[in-house]
């Protein structure tokens, strides 16, 4: 299990690096949190930790964005907030991305829960009263 309270952007960068280190053999991460909890911002920090200089933005309308690391590996970032049914995930080739062996970060995974593979890392971001973020992660078996 991974758990860290984050109170700053620098703390977020550190948390992202620690998350990737702790789950070094994992490639699919499902990020849970309310609107505005910081899922996309955390994925930005993770991409930086993975050595990507690409601009990370929410793929709210595109559903998936691809970023490249300095060694030209792909990182896929999904946002399923706006899909209306799981068929849309199949139509965009979701399985090809998720089973590619590349890093995949999924926002709003609850929209496609039955399609999520086994052994993903579930990352939860909770907003504290002081605007801090509690980030917890567990490998789902």
Cβ-Cβ contacts under 8 Å for 139 (sequence gap 6 or more): 23, 26, 119, 120, 121, 122
| Structural domains for the chain | 2-139 (3.40.50.300)
Give the pLDDT score at 135: 97
**Alpha-carbon gap, residue 4 to 133, rounded angstroms:** 8
Q: Measured on CA atoms in the order 49, 53, 54, 57, is the torsion positive or negative?
A: positive
Please state, in angstroms and as integers, the Cα–Cα distance from residue 128 to each residue in 14, 38, 76, 125, following that order: 19, 12, 28, 10
Write the pLDDT tens digit of every residue in 19-68: 999 999 999 999 999 999 999 999 999 999 999 999 999 988 889 999 99
Cβ atoms of 49 and 20 within 8 Å: the answer is: yes
Whether residue 101 contacts residue 117, with contact meaning beta carbons closer than 8 Å, is answered with: no
Does 141 have pLDDT greater than 80? no
Give 120's Cβ-side CA count (13 Å radius). Answer: 22
């Amino acid at each position: 299990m991974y758990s860290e309270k984050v109170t700053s952007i620098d703390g977020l960068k550190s948390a992202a690096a620690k998350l990737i280190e702790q789950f070094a053999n994992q490639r699919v991460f499902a990020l849970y949190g309310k609107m505005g909890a910081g899922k996309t911002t955390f994925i930005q920090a993770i991409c930086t930790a993975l050595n990507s200089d690409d601009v990370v933005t929410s793929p709210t309308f595109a559903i998936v964005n691809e970023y490249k690391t300095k060694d030209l590996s792909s990182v896929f970032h999904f946002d399923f907030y706006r899909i209306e049914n799981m068929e849309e995930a199949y139509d965009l080739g979701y399985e090809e991305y998720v089973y590619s062996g590349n890093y995949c970060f999924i926002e709003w995974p609850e929209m496609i829960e039955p399609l999520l593979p086994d052994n993903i890392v579930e990352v939860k971001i909770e907003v504290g009263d002081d605007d801090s973020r509690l980030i917890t992660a567990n490998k789902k078996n």
